[in-house]
Amino acid sequence: MGFKHFPKELQNFFKGLKKNNSKDWLDAHRDDYDNLLMEPAKDFVEAMGSALQKIAPGIRAEPRINGSIMRMNRDTRFSKDKTPYKTAIHFIFWEGAGKAKDSPGLYLKFDDQEVGMAVGMMGFDPARLDRYRKAVLDDVSGDALEKAIKAAAKSPYSLRDPHYKKVPRGFDADHPRADLLRQNSLVIGGEAPLPGALYGGDFVAHCVREFKKLRPVQAWLTDNVA
């Protein structure tokens, strides 16, 4: 039959987790976690892996936790917020032979209220940062990036603000793409109210349509940085 949507009961699971974010509560609702969230999530990833080939033939989708399904556990070591779990489910689909965190990705999350979608790379290591800056400075690839961002940055999606307040040392502060030189990652995305397709329609088709709008930026990163 194929994946179509998540069960409507999942909405109440998310609401309960937000009110009772604890190991005891999750342990008591382990069946809901497995049956309403994780099992459908694995089916969703498989369906997305096939559907995304139409817009990104090299995309990778792994239907497992720590594959395309991110862990619900939060890293609380350096956070004032000590609640143990994320209250949304997060997915990543990535391109290339490397690890997901080091590759251009398509990102998706949702909870009981909204869905968030983004594309890009969350952080450049030194080698990728060097390639990124050279590509930004190049007239051909730099112009292509500006066009890709313009095509993707339409409501509700926008480019994440630059990391650096000033253009890094050694680069022209008056360069026409100075704002892009101030980035140490490149992510474009946004959030919107939950679509009806999540619980009662073709959610895969909805996600592919939205990722198609953002794809130009992810494709540019694949070609020029990864």
CA distances from residue 158 to 27, 74, 180, 191 in whole angstroms, order as listed = 38, 26, 14, 10
Domain holding 69, by residue range, is 10-224
For residue 95, the cross-strand partners are: 59
Alpha carbon 199 to chain centroid distance?
20
The one-digit pLDDT tens for each residue of the chain (226 residues) are 578 889 999 999 999 999 999 999 999 999 999 999 999 999 999 999 999 999 999 999 999 999 999 999 998 888 888 999 999 999 999 998 888 888 999 999 999 999 999 999 999 999 999 999 999 999 999 999 999 999 999 999 999 999 999 999 999 999 999 999 999 999 999 999 999 999 988 999 999 999 999 999 999 999 999 8
Asked if 186 and 121 touch (Cβ cutoff 8 Å), the reply is yes
Residue 84, Cβ neighbours under 10 Å: how many?
Answer: 14
Residue 4 lies in a domain: no
Residue 186 lies in a domain: yes
Residue 5 lies in a domain: no
Question: What one-character DSSP code corresponds to residue 30?
Answer: H
Residue 91 lies in a domain: yes
Which residues are CB-contacts of 15 (< 8 A; sequence separation ≥ 6)? Answer: 112
Residue 84 lies in a domain: yes
Residue 107 lies in a domain: yes
Instruction: Give how many domains the chain has, as a whole number.
Output: 1
Residue 1 lies in a domain: no
The string of DSSP codes covering 64-127 is SBTTTBPPSB---TT-S---SB-SSEEEEEEESSS-GGGS-EEEEEE-SSEEEEEEEES---HH
List the CATH number of the domain containing 207: 3.30.930.20
How far apart (Å, rounded) are the C-alpha atoms in residues 123 and 64?
Answer: 23
Asked if 71 and 65 touch (Cβ cutoff 8 Å), the reply is yes
Output the six-digit token pair for 40.
């459908």
Asked if 70 and 80 touch (Cβ cutoff 8 Å), the reply is no
Residue 14 lies in a domain: yes
